Each structure stands twice: as C-alpha cells, then as structure tokens.
Amino acid sequence: MRVIIKNPGENVGHFEEIENELIPMRKIVGGPIEAVYLGRGLVMVVNEEGKLWMLPENFRTEHDIIAGTAIVAGTCGDEFADCPISLNLWEKKLARWGNDVGKIPLTDIRTRFTSYKVDFLSTDTYLADGSPRITAWNMEDGPIATITVCLEGKGLAEGQAYVDANNCPWAPEWIETNGLGKNTGSRARSGYCTYPLYQFDMDQVKERGVV
C-alpha cells in the first residue's frame, strides 16, 4: 500500500510502500493505532497514546495536535487503501491547518544502477514548440537528467511537455510522486520511442527551482 508517512521534524513527509496490516502500522507509529478520518477518502493513522506518552509534536490539524509519526492513507469501504492525494495537496492541507511546511524536498531519482539526490530543478523553453525544458540538478554533480523532450510539429498547451520516458523510464512516476504534473493520457511517437504528454504544474516546478 502506497502511503504518505510524516515523521516529526519532516516538513511534509514522504511516500512509502507499506504492508496493509495492523502490526506493520503499529510498528511505524510506535504503539496502538487510531484512525482519524479526514473525509473524501482520506484517513490518518496515528498513535492513539501519542500525546499521553509525550511523543514529539508532529503537526496540527483543524481540531487537534498529532504527536508521533502519522500515516496518511486512503479508504476503500472499511479497509485502508493507497493514499489518493499528492505531496503537493498534502502540503496545502498542512498549511491550511496552520503548519509551517517550508519547501517540499524532491525525492531521490532511482535508476536501475544508482540513485541521485535532487537539489533543484532548472527550467527554460524549447524554441521549436515552446514547451518547458525541465532538468534535475544535484549541487555536487551538476545536471542529472532532462526529463522533458521536444517533438517538433506538436502544438501544445501552456505547461504541457512530452516526458523522456525512453532515456528516463523513472521520470513519469517521479514527476507524479513529487506533485510536478499529471499524465494527460496522450502520447506521441518519434522513431521507435513513445513519449507520454504531461501537464506540468509550473508553479510547483519553479518553486523547486530555488536553490
């Protein structure tokens, strides 16, 4: 099950795959669990005794203070399910509750052979079609990968770009995990390769461009 886990001290939290079982959840929150339903298929799993045990304060909700680690998941009937929202939407919910979330860190890029820490994004524009050219950077190693590609002759709406899923097969999942954009469902072929078309949230992309 894919959930957001927010530990005390984390600005927003991070996505993680966990078992949809009570014992692993108890281990994550450090004790007996309590489900706090937030509506619209969203639920938090927290330590029921977190405040009594004086666990570190994590964040505020509309009516309470969460102490200790929290799991943010979805619901399917009476069962827990994959978290239905992005880190970007979770950040906005935390901010709406009055939490100082700061800047959301980008998750690492994990390829078949290694992983890279991403410190910031750079953006400019492809002259041929006006789509955004988005590159992930590491402070020490420089540019890691340009995740978008220009396909000439393709008229695109503002903020749309084809993702280079050929050279960066990890890119579609990485983009969505970080709340940078969504797959439109359209694709284009160039040579032997097919590229998915994404609608990028350019405000989020530019926010991650601040070093």
pLDDT digits (tens, 9 = 90+) for 161-180: 999 999 999 999 999 988 89
- Is beta strand 160-163 parallel, antiparallel or unpaired with respect to 181-190? unpaired
- How confident is the model at residue 39, as a pLDDT? 87
Continuous segment of H or E residues that includes residue 148: strand 148-149
Predicted TM-score of the model (pTM): 0.59
Residue the block writes with tokens 């909700």: 61
- How confident is the model at residue 211, as a pLDDT? 42
Where the chain has pLDDT below 50, the residues are 211
- How confident is the model at residue 11, as a pLDDT? 85
Continuous segment of H or E residues that includes residue 67: strand 65-67
- How confident is the model at residue 113, as a pLDDT? 85
Closest CA to 16 of 72, 65, 59: 72
- How confident is the model at residue 95, as a pLDDT? 87
- How confident is the model at residue 177, as a pLDDT? 87
Query: What CA–CA distances, in Å, run from 176 to 27, 101, 112, 152?
Result: 28, 20, 19, 25
- How confident is the model at residue 103, as a pLDDT? 67
What's the sign of the alpha-carbon dihedral 124, 127, 132, 134? Answer: negative
Query: What CA–CA distances, in Å, run from 52 to 28, 66, 72?
Result: 17, 11, 21
Rounded Cα–Cα distance for residues 86 and 6 (Å): 13
The answer to whether the CB of 109 falls within 8 A of the CB of 116 is yes
Residue the block writes with tokens 């820490």: 117
- How confident is the model at residue 210, as a pLDDT? 52
3-state SS class at 176: helix
Q: Retrieve residue 81's tokens.
A: 């399910």
